Structure 1
Amino acid sequence: MQKGETIWYIPDGYIPPESTNDLLSHESICVLNCQERKAQLAITIYFEDRPPLEKIAYEVPAKRTKHIRTSELSLDGEKIPVGVPYAIEVESDEPIIVQYSRLDSTQPELALMSTIAYALK
């Protein structure tokens, strides 16, 4: 039985420009690699009004999990801007499982949401 897929999509990304209290609003691509080999990821960020940030490299060791904060991703020094909608494509050379989480602390009643990404089969 194969554990995971090699292409995943997250259509709704947004890094809030403000936070309340000490908790920083953020988003994470949560990756689980159940394989015996490390997974080499290529993460592409799509925007509504500009070219994508294509194939940002990331590595997830074998039999490990990684929580990748989208605010820390960069390509040639360019990062995802805050307050701008975006979408994510995660490609991997090994089957992986991808979950997406968002902590929104723009108001005192913060919100946390998480969902499994869409896997291309």
Structure 2
Amino acid sequence: MTPTRPAGSTSGARHTWWFPDGDLPAPTEGDRFVSHEALIVLNPAREPAKLRLTLYWTDRPPTSFDHDLVVAGERVRCLRLDKLSDEGIDFTIPHRTQYAIRLDSSVPVFCQYGRLDTAQPNLTLMTAPAFG
């Protein structure tokens, strides 16, 4: 049996996505889960998506990264923003600092943002689609 390309429309995929509410939670000592933020990128195209991230701050010029951030064709990838070093990026987003994200892709992709905040006992897990 030969696999077929999944049915469905990719008309909502975009080259540019905006995430206006970055605010990396600080890790809480002794927690079972680690507070973090993540960008989830789905690439429905057959060719790889080359990504560039730009962070916007309240008190300084933007910071941009395009360090081999790639999502393979027809794959999904989660980029942990508290672990940019895992992506080869020598930069740390400061905890509890307001920022925004622009994601640019070489091919149209779908994006989502997620945050896990363990600062209070009930935890907070939030996900939101981006503005494209």
Check whether TM > 0.5: yes
Residue matched to 1:9: 18
| Superposition RMSD in Å | 1.7
Bigger proportion of residues as strand:
1
Q: 2:97 aligns with which of 84, 88, 104?
A: 84
The aligned length equals 119
Q: Deviations over 1:15-44 (max 9, x none)?
A: 112326221110110100000000000011
Contact 1:98 1:116 in 2 (8 A): yes
TM-score when scaled to structure 2? 0.83
CA distance in 2, matches of 1:110, 1:2: 34
Contact 1:19 1:107 in 2 (8 A): no
Q: Which runs of 5 or more structure 1 residues have no equivalent in the other structure? A: none
CA distance in 1, matches of 2:32, 2:62: 31
Q: 1:46 aligns with which of 52, 56, 60?
A: 56
CA distance in 2, matches of 1:89, 1:100: 12
How has the CA–CA distance of structure 1 residues 76 and 41 changed in structure 2, closer, same or farther, with 3 Å as cutoff?
A: closer
CA distance in 2, matches of 1:56, 1:116: 22
Residue matched to 2:3: none
In the alignment, residue 112 of structure 2 is paired with which amino acid?
Answer: Q
Shift of 1:50: 1.4
Matched, 1:112 2:95: no
Q: Deviations over 1:47-70 (max 9, x none)?
A: 100122113331100010011111
Residue matched to 1:24: 34
Matched, 1:68 2:79: yes
**108-117 or 20-29, which moves further after superposition?**
20-29
Q: Which runs of 5 or more structure 2 residues have no equivalent in the other structure? A: 1-8
Shift of 1:82: 1.1
Runs of 4+ in 1 over 6 A off after TM superposition: none
CA distance in 2, matches of 1:48, 1:118: 20
**89-98 or 73-82, which moves further after superposition?**
73-82
Matched, 1:103 2:116: yes
